[in-house]
Amino acid sequence: MSEKIEKKTVAGITRESTQAMIDEVLAVYPEKGRKKRAPHLAPNDQLSGKSCVKSNKKTVPGVMSARGCAYAGAKGVVWGPIRDMVHVSHGPVGCGWYSWGTRRNLMSGQLGVDQFGMQFTSDFQEKDIVYGGDKKLKTLLFEAKELFPLAKGISVLSECPVGLIGDDINSVAKQSSKELDIPIIPCNCEGFRGVSQSLGHHISNDTIRDYIIETREFPEPIGPYDIALIGEYNIGGDAWSTKPLLEECGFNVKAVWTGDGEMEKIAATHQVRLNVIHCYRSMNYMCKVMEEKYGIPWIELNFFGPSKIRQSLRALAELFDDSIKEKVEAVIAKYDAEMQKVIDEYKPRLDGKTVMLYVGGLRPRHTIGANEDLGMTCVGSGYEFAHSDDYDRTAPEMPEATVVYDDASELEMEMFAHVIKPDLIGSGIKEKYVFQKMGLPFRQMHSWDYSGPYHGYKGFPIFARDIDMAINSPTWKLVKSPF
Amino acid sequence: MANNLGLAVKPVTTTPPEEVERVAAWINTEEYKELNFKREALVVMPPHACQPLGAELVAHAFEGSLPFVHGSQGCASYYRSTLNRHFREPAPAVSDSMTEDGAVFGGQNNLHEGLENAIALYKPKMVPIFTSCMPEIIGDDLSAFIKNARGKGLVPDDVPTPYANTPSFNGSHIHGYDAMLVSILQTLTDGKKLDGRCTGKVNLIPGFDANTGNFREYKRIFAEFGVPCTILGDISDVFDSPLDGTYRIYPGGTPLADAGDSINGKATINLGPYSATKTFAWVKDNYAGKHQALPMPLGVARTDALLLAISELTGKPVPESLKAERGRVVDAMTDAHQYMHGRKFALYGDPDQLIGTVAFLLEMGAVPYHILCSKGSKKVAKEIQELLDSSLFGKEGKVYMGKDLWHLRSLLMTDPVDALIGDTHGKFIARDARIPLFRFGFPVMDRVNLHRSPIIGYQGAINMVTAICNTFIDIVDQTCEDRFFEMMR
């Protein structure tokens, strides 16, 4: 989306004021830490359309980062949401237990029958570390196939010890695959690899490339409007908003990667006309592979808030014929009227309010527009695990000179919030209660705070209600005690 | 290059609905249960976490204490978010973010840089250090690393750095709790033992417990006695802090001076025979005063035992207020007995709480039926069996050690019960079995404020009776035919 950037400013925020705020927090660091952190914090240069911070670097030890690990990116983000596969957390019990049901990627089907949103683990013990876990892995793959016969495949997600003790999950997977006649995907996503969740996404994309794509074919011929929805994880039911929306626009959504996902449809995605990607960070790799290898173009869209949805649907329609364009315009006209009612209800209470964001994947930029639809202004944004191409995409969305923070430490977020005093913070569970204790309204923007969906036209009324509820809850009036 | 597995390319298929129905019925059968119990390698839905989670919980439980994870940063994020979700409170902890180069060169540089930054940024009074998998596998020498950090002046002399090895491939969160707690006590009491000194206080080791209400209840009981008490690892203010517009990174915890002086206590009571085993063994060898091991005080008899022990250890009579309270809980239990008597329960959890819950159910005339511990032992099984054998209501109870919630599902479907007691993770099997789940365990991620509602002591017994009986009555009201829908229950 390369429309002309309209300059946004915020009263009281200048490059100098933002830099002074950054310098104040950097002053708390020991010299080495300060040197490492400084390039990750900067005032936004909106019109440049370029990243103003360094990113995707090692976390500075001891600063209280919010980041996770490669395993989290692989199990929690990419593989976990595929509903009809058994996902084995291979290694000690913890990793699988912590990531069990904690992302809110909803799934249809019956648990343990044709849907497997459970915790499967090889539960490594001391002896598995000493003697290796390959034999145990093989046994458990056979047990999984026997007890869960409708599983379409099994992913083996390595935890730290597996890579350190030199197990060969790849050969166990290959051999067992043949014997059991189901795909068993080895994913070497040990938590110590890389600097954040991000490498886990990349490794998982690579395993989809190496083991999944092209192994299935749709029985019907490829139609002109066949597309796949990529980087949609169905948080709080998001895919159940976006998929029907695309279908209403005349598209045939053949596969969703990977929210409420089905392995065989993902495996046949080389047979679509276009890939529509939402979370660029976690799945751009496979979009690029499919473009190079099968000539499938891809387009990045934003499904948050009516303004961005409108822009996105029109950009999508541009790639198709008039029948799609007409349908898209009809859809926009139909829903814009509904969305205006939502705005009319909430905007009077939210107009002029400010929000600070600190999230993952795409939300630090993609939700800015939805907040603006409600009359709000973004006064700071940053990512846990982004790369510079994410920050390039963020610069034009954020107002000039507002603070950008990459892999922020808790102290940085706390000190920024003290200075900026936003009306709302959108971040994660580890941050939530810090800010609420400070009296600052908060919404979890990874998990939609146990609400959702937030995507699409179904999502915006819920998003608006939730933002209003967070900021205008009467409980905030009780914080200041009369004695 | 795709298709590295070399499997044939096939068309996309859809599982026929009748096949889904067949399997859905099959997984509820006796045949499936047998197959399920034959599992040797695959673990499905185990209701326990790894050691460092417990270590972090107790590392938060002291004044000004900043838990420090030596290992991958993702581990620290997982432990923290688990505690955030359960308590709905902050859980500030750091990690030294070891990565691939740490695997090659060891984690000393990460640890040193991490300590320097954490101390500058978060100004802790103590930094308890514990490990996740990676340093355990590569064999990092924490003792030497920390000594070197002090040698380099990276840690102020007055900031203690107790440390514990908490490998995730051994034991569960309760063992990490134990390892970290004993290390904290060893560090804080070092050189503090004074001949002839007695603090006059009773030390209380609660064992692994993530219910802040329980901690407040212990303090209230000691206050009623007029006996000063030091709780060794007090999370009550740490994970139940006020919202008044100020964020305090260290809102409570056992004062470090009190913990240090606890070695000169009048007596020490351990309420975590299975979760504070090493700690209490060390305390017995090193602490002044008397030492008494008791079970976690769930139900009336086990609370009686705690009060009698406090009385005997301090020479103070059980106060009238607690005697009256005892009368009230017996009254509450008797008033409600008809709603629990003979009802069958399945329950799972960590040994201390599991055993106490069995005892409580037996007191109510309820039937502990399927009793499962995913990290149990022969000793735990024996203790539960003895408890069952001691009661008419224990005759039908069966004990399952080292089994997981997928095993328990088979039991619930083939040999049904009226309710399940456990933590949030049991909700899926409770739903499949169409029975209520009572969330007395850890963690609770899907209900509010339960961690504030004590389950120990007399008050805790009232709370459990209230929750269980009213839910059973609600079910009758929601499911009975109209003609049986009555004013009174």
Residues of B in contact with A29 (CB under 8 A): 117, 120-121
What is the rounded distance in angstroms from the CA atom of residue A273 to the CA atom of residue B157? 66
Mutate to test the interface with A, among B31, B43, B159 (most CBs of A within 10 A): B43
Domains and CATH numbers, chain B: 51-189 (3.40.50.1980), 202-322 (3.40.50.1980), 336-482 (3.40.50.1980)
Q: How many separate helices (H) and strands (E) can be counted in chain A?
A: 20, 15
Return the number of CB contacts < 8 Å for A and B: 308
Q: Count the neighbouring beta carbons within 10 Å of the beta carbon of residue B295.
A: 23
What is chain B's pLDDT, residue by residue, as a tens digit (489 residues)?
457 888 889 999 999 999 999 999 999 999 999 999 999 999 999 999 999 999 999 999 999 999 999 999 999 999 999 999 999 999 999 999 999 998 889 999 999 999 999 999 999 999 999 999 999 999 999 999 999 999 999 999 999 999 999 999 999 999 999 999 999 999 999 999 999 999 999 999 999 999 999 999 999 999 999 999 999 999 999 999 999 999 999 999 999 999 999 999 999 999 999 999 999 999 999 999 999 999 999 999 999 999 999 999 999 999 999 999 999 999 999 999 999 999 999 999 999 999 999 999 999 999 999 999 999 999 999 999 999 999 999 999 999 999 999 999 999 999 999 999 999 999 999 999 999 999 999 999 999 999 999 999 999 999 999 999 999 999 999 999 999 999 999
pLDDT digits (tens, 9 = 90+) for A335-378: 999 999 999 999 999 999 999 999 999 999 999 999 999 999 99
Across the interface, which of A126, A184, A480 has its CB nearest the CB of B169? Answer: A126
Q: Within an 8 Å CB–CB cutoff, is residue B49 touching chain A?
A: yes
What is the rounded distance in angstroms from the CA atom of residue B281 to the CA atom of residue A51? 57
Q: Among the residues of B152-292, which ranges form H helices?
A: 173-189, 212-225, 256-261, 277-286
- Distance in Å, alpha carbon of B58 to nearest chain A alpha carbon: 18
Handedness of CA A172, A175, A176, A181 (dihedral sign): positive
Give the pLDDT confidence score for residue A159 in this predicted structure: 98
CA dihedral A139, A140, A142, A147 (to 10 degrees): 140
**A344: its two tokens:** 């009319």
Chain centre to alpha carbon of residue B216: 16
How do A120-121 and B43-44 pair as beta strands?
antiparallel
Q: Within an 8 Å CB–CB cutoff, is residue B94 touching chain A?
A: yes
Walk along chain A (483 residues) in steps of 10 and give the mean pLDDT of each run: 79 98 98 98 96 98 98 98 98 98 98 98 97 97 98 98 96 97 97 97 98 97 98 98 98 98 98 98 98 98 98 98 98 98 98 98 97 98 98 98 98 98 98 98 98 98 98 98 95
**A432: its two tokens:** 């939530």
Burial of B158 from C-beta contacts in 10 A (0-12 / 13-18 / 19+): exposed
Across the interface, which of B77, B84, B92 has its CB nearest the CB of A67? Answer: B77
What is the rounded distance in angstroms from the CA atom of residue B260 to the CA atom of residue B258? 5
- Listed in sequence order, the residues at least 6 apart from B22 whose beta carbon sits closer than 8 Å to its beta carbon are none
Domains and CATH numbers, chain A: 15-63+351-450 (3.40.50.1980), 70-194 (3.40.50.1980)
What percent helix, strand, coil does chain B show, rounded to 5?
A: 50, 10, 40
Handedness of CA A74, A80, A86, A90 (dihedral sign): positive
Q: Count the neighbouring beta carbons within 10 Å of the beta carbon of residue B14.
A: 10
pLDDT digits (tens, 9 = 90+) for A283-314: 999 999 999 999 999 999 999 999 999 999 99
Are B134 and A97 a contacting pair at CB < 8 A?
A: no
Chain centre to alpha carbon of residue B288: 28
Q: Within an 8 Å CB–CB cutoff, is residue A23 touching chain B?
A: no
Residue tagged active-site, from A37, A90, A201, A216:
A201
What is the rounded distance in angstroms from the CA atom of residue A66 to the CA atom of residue B80? 10
Active site residue A72: yes
Are A62 and B94 a contacting pair at CB < 8 A?
A: yes
Question: φ and ψ at B219, to 5 degrees?
Answer: -65, -40
What is the 8-class DSSP label of residue B323? H
On whether the CB atoms of residues B351 and B274 are closer than 8 A, the answer is: yes
Which residues share a beta bridge with B342?
Answer: none
Q: Within an 8 Å CB–CB cutoff, is residue A26 touching chain B?
A: no
Give the pLDDT confidence score for residue A5 in this predicted structure: 84
- Those of residues 209-238 in A touching chain B at CB distance below 8 A are 209-219
What is the rounded distance in angstroms from the CA atom of residue B283 to the CA atom of residue B270? 10
Question: φ and ψ at B40, to 5 degrees?
Answer: -115, -30
Give the pLDDT confidence score for residue A126 in this predicted structure: 97
3-state class (DSSP) for residue B140: coil
**A269: its two tokens:** 């995605």
What does each C-alpha distance from A244 to A198, A241, A256, A326, A448 come to in angstroms? Answer: 29, 6, 12, 17, 20
Residue tagged active-site, from A42, A66, A72, A401:
A72
- Listed in sequence order, the residues at least 6 apart from B84 whose beta carbon sits closer than 8 Å to its beta carbon are A429, A430, A432, A433, B90, B91
Which residues share a beta bridge with B65?
Answer: B126
Of A406, A396, A390, A407, nearest to A372 (Cα)?
A396
On whether the CB atoms of residues A46 and A399 are closer than 8 A, the answer is: yes
Residues of B in contact with A122 (CB under 8 A): 41-43
Handedness of CA B304, B307, B308, B309 (dihedral sign): positive
Between CA A340 and CA A343, with CA A342 as vertex, the angle to 5 degrees is 65
Q: Within an 8 Å CB–CB cutoff, is residue B46 touching chain A?
A: yes
Of B134, B106, B5, B76, nearest to A187 (Cα)?
B5
Are A111 and B11 a contacting pair at CB < 8 A?
A: no
Active site residue A443: no
On whether the CB atoms of residues B250 and B124 are closer than 8 A, the answer is: yes
Across the interface, which of B82, B121, B248 has its CB nearest the CB of A409? Answer: B121
Across the interface, which of B5, B46, B90 has its CB nearest the CB of A119? Answer: B46
- Those of residues 70-129 in A touching chain B at CB distance below 8 A are 70-72, 88, 91-95, 97-102, 110-114, 118-126, 128-129
Give the pLDDT confidence score for residue A3 in this predicted structure: 59
Tell me the CB-side half-sphere exposure of residue A308, using CA atoms within 13 A.
24
User: Which amino acid would we find at residue A196?
Assistant: S
> ipTM of the assembly?
0.98
Of B95, B88, B104, nearest to B449 (Cα)?
B88
Mutate to test the interface with A, among B28, B95, B97, B140 (most CBs of A within 10 A): B97
Give the pLDDT confidence score for residue B19 in this predicted structure: 98
Which residues share a beta bridge with A294?
Answer: none
What is the 8-class DSSP label of residue B254? B
Of A259, A158, A267, A160, nearest to A208 (Cα)?
A267
Of B74, B2, B10, B9, nearest to A185 (Cα)?
B2
What is the rounded distance in angstroms from the CA atom of residue A387 to the CA atom of residue A285? 13
What percent helix, strand, coil does chain A show, rounded to 5?
A: 50, 15, 35
On whether the CB atoms of residues B371 and B393 are closer than 8 A, the answer is: no
- Those of residues 292-321 in B touching chain A at CB distance below 8 A are none
**B99: its two tokens:** 């990565």
Give the pLDDT confidence score for residue B6 in this predicted structure: 85
Handedness of CA B54, A432, A445, A240 (dihedral sign): positive
**B92: its two tokens:** 């500030």
- The secondary structure element, H or E, covering residue A70 is helix A70-71
What is the rounded distance in angstroms from the CA atom of residue B59 to the CA atom of residue B71? 16
Q: How many separate helices (H) and strands (E) can be counted in chain B?
A: 19, 15
How do B129-131 and B94-95 pair as beta strands?
unpaired
What is the rounded distance in angstroms from the CA atom of residue A145 to the CA atom of residue A139? 10
What is the 8-class DSSP label of residue A361? S
**A141: its two tokens:** 């793959």
**B396: its two tokens:** 């039908």
